[in-house]
Amino acid sequence: MAKHIIIAGGGTAGIEAAGTLAELGYSVSIIEKDKSTGGHVNRWHALFPDRRPAEEVRHYLSHRLKNKNISILHNTTVDRIKHHGHFLSVETSGGETLEADAVIVATGFDIFDASRKEEYGYGIYDDIITAPELEDMFNARSILTSAGKKPERIGFIHCVGSRDEKVCNNHCSKVCCVTAVKQAIEARESLPDCEIFCFYMDMRMFGPYYEELYRQAQEVYNINFIRGKVSEASNTINKRVTIKVEDTLAGRPLKMEVDLLVLMTGMEVSRSGAKLAEASGFTSGKNRFLSVADNHLHGNRSNIPGVFYAGTCTAPMNITDTISHARSAAMETNNYLAGK
């Protein structure tokens, strides 16, 4: 009888780990909190750095789930994992207790709640949106203000909920800068006459071709990048958004009106992941993401035998790194079970 592996989470990491293990002949059960699998990539329009359609990745992931060795339990969370020596018990939100030979935690991340940064006016003023909400507009092929008009000026604020001691998030979310660059280019292509400004702390373009995309945004698409932290955003009498920012390179304060303000919200460990960690005794880092056994040598192992981590439950990652991390988790799980 095939050994049974339970995967907590049916996003990119969970699906990739499941597909890899199913191909190796294991019986795999995905427990997914939502009514559908795929996670955050379901909302995305195009992906950096090459701006390939996100649909191509979604198609790949959906194909991974067609393996007969994979079963999926929707609208359910893993609430607790216990180690019993030769097996693991998994308690679900549906009241079931399932047995597994190994478990992979792939509970992912939550997008920072922008309303916690009250100075940016999200949820208070019109035409202040988040990066995922702009992706919704790209998918709908319609970028409009709340009044139904095409914006003549768009502003992007980087590091919303990341690198911010006030909200207890000192970590960098890694993908916000390049997402802003990608979205600024897409906005320019949709609205050729629109002025576009990015307000950043530091441009962290760490991935392959990210720096080239940033250069292209400036030289080809004429995106304006201003180094400075926005201190306040509010609505004007004429229903535009006014922002106050200090241009730290020019050494002067700025006050500007935009028609649409996009907040580049970062990543936090998911609420379901944090709850599972507390109930199961997993260790967490200063950034509240789940701590791996060894940052250099064992980046998929947890502190509990037979439990492994995949993807952004451990740290912010892009899709490329998430898929690689999930494949690594599957191999670590395979090696563990081969030695049992």
Please write the tens of the pLDDT for every residue from 105-160: 999 999 999 999 999 999 999 999 999 999 999 999 999 999 999 999 999 999 99
Q: Taking the mean position of all CA atoms in its chain, how far away is CA 185?
A: 20
Residues in the chain predicted with pLDDT less than 70, given as ranges, are 340
* Residue closest to 204 by CA, chosen among 287, 116, 115, 266: 266
In this prediction, residue 164 carries a pLDDT of 94
Domain that holds residue 59: 4-108+270-338
Three-point CA angle 318, 137, 43, nearest 5°: 40
In this prediction, residue 248 carries a pLDDT of 86
Same domain, 103 and 126: no
Residues in CB range of 137: below 8 A, 6 or more apart: 143, 144
Same domain, 119 and 208: yes
Query: In the numeric block, which tokens belong to residue 1?
Result: 């009888």
In this prediction, residue 178 carries a pLDDT of 98
Same domain, 125 and 223: yes
Q: How much of the chain exceeds pLDDT 70, in percent? A: 100
Same domain, 147 and 19: no
Same domain, 259 and 288: no
Same domain, 135 and 147: yes
In this prediction, residue 229 carries a pLDDT of 86
pTM: predicted TM-score of the whole model, two decimal places: 0.95
| Domain finish residue from 214, 231, 266 | 266
Q: How far apart are CA 225 and CA 112, in angstroms?
A: 23
In this prediction, residue 85 carries a pLDDT of 85
- Burial of 39 by CB count in 10 Å (0-12 exposed, 13-18 middle, 19+ buried)? buried
In this prediction, residue 252 carries a pLDDT of 87
Same domain, 219 and 236: yes
CB-CB contact of 16 with 329 (8 Å): no
pLDDT in tens, 112-123: 999 999 999 999
* Residue closest to 56 by CA, chosen among 319, 327, 322: 319
Domain count, the chain: 2
Asked if the peptide bond before residue 49 counts as cis, ω within 30 degrees of 0, the response is yes
Same domain, 255 and 293: no
Same domain, 177 and 45: no
- The CATH number covering residue 184 comes to 3.50.50.60
